Amino acid sequence: MPHPTVPPFEAVFLFGRERITRELLYTEFEAILDGFIPIPDFAGASVKAAYVQIGPTLAVTGLVFFLVSFDEQGMVDRRWNVPLQQLLGSAGTGPDMGAGAVRLVCYSQCPVAWHQKNLWDPSMQVGNNSFIAIRDAIKTNRLGFVVKSTKPPVERSSREAIAPHHSKEDVAREQAALEQRLHDYYSAELAKQVEQLTKEQSLHIATLMSQKQARLHSLQQEHQQRVLAYQQKLQQLMQGNQDLSDRNKILKDMLDTQAAKVEGMREYFAHKLKAAQQGESSQLQLMQENFALELDAKIRAATAELREMLDMREVELFYRHQNESTLKEEIVQLKQDNQQLLKNSGDQLLGRLVKAGVNLVTFLPGLGEVAIPLDDIGVYLEDPSAYAARKAGVSESVYLAWLAHHQLPCCNAVDARGKACNRGIPIIETPLEFHPGESDRCAQHQSVALGLVADSRR
């Protein structure tokens, strides 16, 4: 596909707080992309920008509203790769900014789907219109574009166009023809203006819908996180309750065992005491003291044994936690080494492909076609499910549960006999709208689950 014709002038405007904060020639922006010039004011931020193509009369002919990220040193993120000029080659139309309808590329009007996430919608509100701000900045011409002045041709008046020697009938006929031409001309102009206003309003509606969709997505993600947090908290409370119940049962069993031992010893010594009641009082006193001493020694021995067993169990748990922490650190290090090896093994070839404008795109269930950056290839190959879950904005467990639901949409509730419901339910199209334990249940079992949650909170 041939590249579009380069206009006389190109510029890049950077926005901050919904207004233009910096104007750059396109060559200056290319120097920033090549890493020669940092912008400390935008360090660590994602900035809204606009690529502008300008005609010879300082009228805008093309616009690309894109996002650019800067690192902590104020340099452009090296993974940034948006072909601005190529996108304008297949762009749609926008408002008239002095030279007819401009070619426009933005979030709501993107010809290449995988570049949409790197674009943004311009503001078209009264008093905060991005198109008007760009037009006024170009008219100010702070970048110093050299413009050749052109004088419009002088049109002859209708009286000069009519030869003086024509008859009255010819004059009337020519006057009627002139009026018809003027009527046709202004009718066509009015139709063009109506069509242009319709396109501008359609673009405005599309930008408002995109903003509403982004807000809805944010609210859905926040709701998903809150529901997941509540479910985790409920699971922790239920697990803690179960642990306490198990511990109480163990202690009760141990107490019953010790009580049975003490009762047996008491019966034994009581029998000996009863048999020795006929003996001397001194012997009876000695046996009573021996009974008390032996009973105390038995209780201490049993207590010491239980305490020693408890201490050994705590030591075992401590060493087990240490071993688990060490193994987790080794696993993390091995994953990082594996990712680094994957990155270094194909870095040159992939880097050349990315510079040539080639993007690595894969299809992820629930997300569609997703472009994978060069630095994320190792992460994706290591665990595609975890990578897809992170892109979808949910945990891996939620994503896997949604994937199972999407492949087989049926109720997963199990009755007391262990039999699954398997009743057909509506498909949840996106992982963000899926709630385990609720979205994979039919209406009947959803009401039962809500009743259980309400009872547990009482």
* Exposed/middle/buried for residue 5 (C-beta within 10 Å: 0-12, 13-18, 19+): exposed
**pTM of structure:** 0.41
The more confidently predicted of residues 388 and 138 is: 138
At 454, is the pLDDT very low, low, confident or very high (cuts 50, 70, 90)?
low
Helix (H) or strand (E) holding 157: none
Q: What is the mean pLDDT of residues 339-362?
A: 67
Here the tokens at position 204 are: 């405005």
Tell me: pLDDT of 4 over 60. no
pLDDT tens digits, 177-203: 787 777 677 776 666 665 656 666 666
Tell me: pLDDT of 348 over 70. no
The more confidently predicted of residues 327 and 437 is: 327
pLDDT tens digits, 353-366: 767 766 778 888 87
Tell me: pLDDT of 65 over 90. yes
Cβ atoms < 10 Å from Cβ of 168:
7
Query: Which of 7-16, 342-351, 391-400 is predicted with the least confidence, judged by mean pLDDT?
Result: 342-351
Tell me: pLDDT of 2 over 70. no
pLDDT tens digits, 117-152: 899 988 878 778 888 999 999 999 898 887 765 555
Q: Give dist(CA 291, CA 288) in Å, integer.
A: 5
Cβ atoms < 10 Å from Cβ of 77:
13
Cβ atoms < 10 Å from Cβ of 221:
14
Q: What is the mean pLDDT of the chain?
A: 80
pLDDT of the residue at 275? 72
- Triad 155, 161, 166: Cα angle to 5°: 175
pLDDT of the residue at 66? 94
Q: What is the mean pLDDT of residues 55-73?
A: 91
Q: What is the mean pLDDT of residues 221-225?
A: 82
With beta carbons less than 8 A apart as the criterion, state whether 377 and 387 touch. Answer: no
